[in-house]
Amino acid sequence: MKLKERVVEDMKAALRAKETARLSALRLLLAAIKQREVDERAELGDAEVVAVIDKMLKQRRESISQFQAAGRHDLVAAEEHEVQVLTGYLPARLSPAEIEATVTQAIAAVGAKSAQDMGKVMSTLKRELTGRADMAQVSVLVKSKLAG
């Protein structure tokens, strides 16, 4: 079953079970998926759906930090629930050792020698690691490997 189909089925189940918070999060996800499909005029595959989820998670995490700074704990709880729901659709996360091995492989494959080659390395890694690793941490790791 495709990831998008799984989201639709889970949304129907949440509707039947009257899980309003989960239903709301799934509706937002489906709306984002459909918006991207309309923008690109093509049906999204699992990799693109994972990219949409990853983008939504990044937005939620930024919102959580802003809401915490403002003392809005009610909104923090709602955003954390959405993060929890969205995280369930991502592929299994890689361990730090696996991420480091993938980064080392990508640097060798691209033939990167300095920080100027970081864009090439990151574009290769983005295809492989989106949804499976925090790309901000991957970027820091690539910088440190290319600097050293």
Domain boundaries, position 102: 96-147
Q: Which of 37, 53, 87 is the last residue of a domain?
A: 87
Are residues 127 and 107 located together in one domain of the fold? Answer: yes
Are residues 78 and 141 located together in one domain of the fold? Answer: no
Domain count for the chain, please give it. 2
Q: Specify the CATH number for the domain of residue 65.
A: 1.10.1510.10
**For residue 148, pLDDT beyond 90:** no
What are the tens digits of pLDDT across the range 55-106?
A: 999 999 999 999 999 999 999 999 999 999 999 998 888 888 999 999 999 9
Are residues 74 and 105 located together in one domain of the fold? Answer: no
**For residue 21, pLDDT beyond 70:** yes
Are residues 79 and 103 located together in one domain of the fold? Answer: no
Output the pTM of the full model.
0.77
DSSP per residue over the chain, as a string? Answer: --HHHHHHHHHHHHHHTT-HHHHHHHHHHHHHHHHHHHHHTS---HHHHHHHHHHHHHHHHHHHHHHHHHT-HHHHHHHHHHHHHHHTTSPPPPPHHHHHHHHHHHHHHHT--SGGGHHHHHHHHHHHHBTTB-HHHHHHHHHHHHH-
Are residues 104 and 81 located together in one domain of the fold? Answer: no
Are residues 66 and 111 located together in one domain of the fold? Answer: no
What are the tens digits of pLDDT across the range 29-40?
A: 999 999 999 999
Q: Specify the CATH number for the domain of residue 139.
A: 1.10.10.410
Are residues 10 and 56 located together in one domain of the fold? Answer: yes
Are residues 14 and 70 located together in one domain of the fold? Answer: yes
